[in-house]
Structure 1
Amino acid sequence: MPTTVRPFAAAANDEAPWYRHRWPWLLMIGPAWVLVAGAVMGYQAASRPDAMVVDDYYRQGKAINQDLRRDRAAAARAVVVDLEYAAGQGGATLRGVITAAGTPLPGLLHLRLVHPTLPEKDIALTVTADAAGAFAAPLALLEATRWQVQLEGGARDWRLARQWSRPAAFPHLRVIPTPAEAAPLD
């Protein structure tokens, strides 16, 4: 009985329409994901305005030298601030103790918590340290992000700045001047 060999014989399932095969769908998954991701990124770009970093770069550049002098003033006075973040049900409390050369530093204190990307979430507090250098301030719950903490004296004659990553997970922060801040200005 002679058999005919068909080298390119189609299998029975190859005669089904294209959408019944898995390969076209697997090949379309990549471009489909790119279209979805592009639409999401386009929506985010259109719905969130760019935050203006600085309006006058020259004036801001001149102010950097003044900030460095304030950082060095904090280092010269050996200002140290210990902060503690306590989150509760209705909000949070930020407690702290400020010392200068090991002695309590009572008085007015300006405290800023700067959000890394959204300026509308920045928090500015003015607190008064008692005779023991202790202060407390109520505030809203903080996001789990990297906050920039800026502390200034009442007359804004000294300044300390540090980053605080996820205050709810790491509630204690000690802000001390760095050796670079203690170096004199050239």
Structure 2
Amino acid sequence: MTDDDTNRPWYREPWPWVLIAIPGITILWSIFLILFSMEQHVSMVEDDYYDEGMGINRELSRDIEAANLGLSGRVSFTDGERLDILLESPERRNWERLEVELTHATLGDRDQTTIAQRVGEGRYRARIQPLSDGRWYIDIRNTGNDWRLRGALKTPLEEPLTLQPIREARQQ
């Protein structure tokens, strides 16, 4: 060993800097991840999950009303941009318009709401944006929001989807 090696200050050695760099890089990476996560909006997470959960119980009355009316529906897509609905009811009720909500299972920015106009006895038609492949939920209701029919579909839809009131509503 030379006399120069023993008298070198610690900051001239490479190993202390390597050991200091590891936690330093970790801290910088953590700050970056925190800032990045604060800028991102996650549409799948509901802010007030308790109220949303309690809302499920309140909304059951619309399903019960659909069951009391004896409603059922059949939904099909034409050309990917037209939604055809056939509503069946023992009393042949006809509403002028229906509200249709299409909700993507995971991507909230693809959700759609549209109005279906009556085109015949129990038949309704609406224009929609083309649906991407995947799982979707459909919610059909009258404009007074008195009843609703819900269902799940997987696109591309090869045969018409049948909608009926949920089982709990039919039992009451």
Q: What are the equivalent positions in structure 2 for 1:1-186 lying under 5 Å apart?
A: 49-87=41-79, 92-101=81-90, 103-166=92-155, 168-184=156-172
1:32-79 residue CA offsets vs partner (Å, 9 max, x unmatched): xxxxxxxxxx9xx96964225322233323322221111111111111
Residue ranges of structure 2 left out of the alignment (5+ in a row): 1-32
Match of 2:64, SS state, is helix
Distance 2:40 2:153 in 1: 25
Aligned length: 137
RMSD: 2.4
Report the alpha carbon displacement of residue 101 of structure 1 after superposing the two structures with TM: 2.2
TM-score in terms of structure 2 length: 0.69
Distance 2:147 2:157 in 1: 29
Q: Aligned partner of 1:63: which letter? A: G
TM-score in terms of structure 1 length: 0.64
Q: Is the CA contact 2:133–2:154 (under 8 Å) kept in the aligned structure 1?
A: yes
1:129-180 residue CA offsets vs partner (Å, 9 max, x unmatched): 24512111122221111110111111101111110111x3424111112432
Q: Aligned partner of 2:100: which letter? A: L
Residue ranges of structure 1 left out of the alignment (5+ in a row): 1-41
Match of 1:103, SS state, is coil
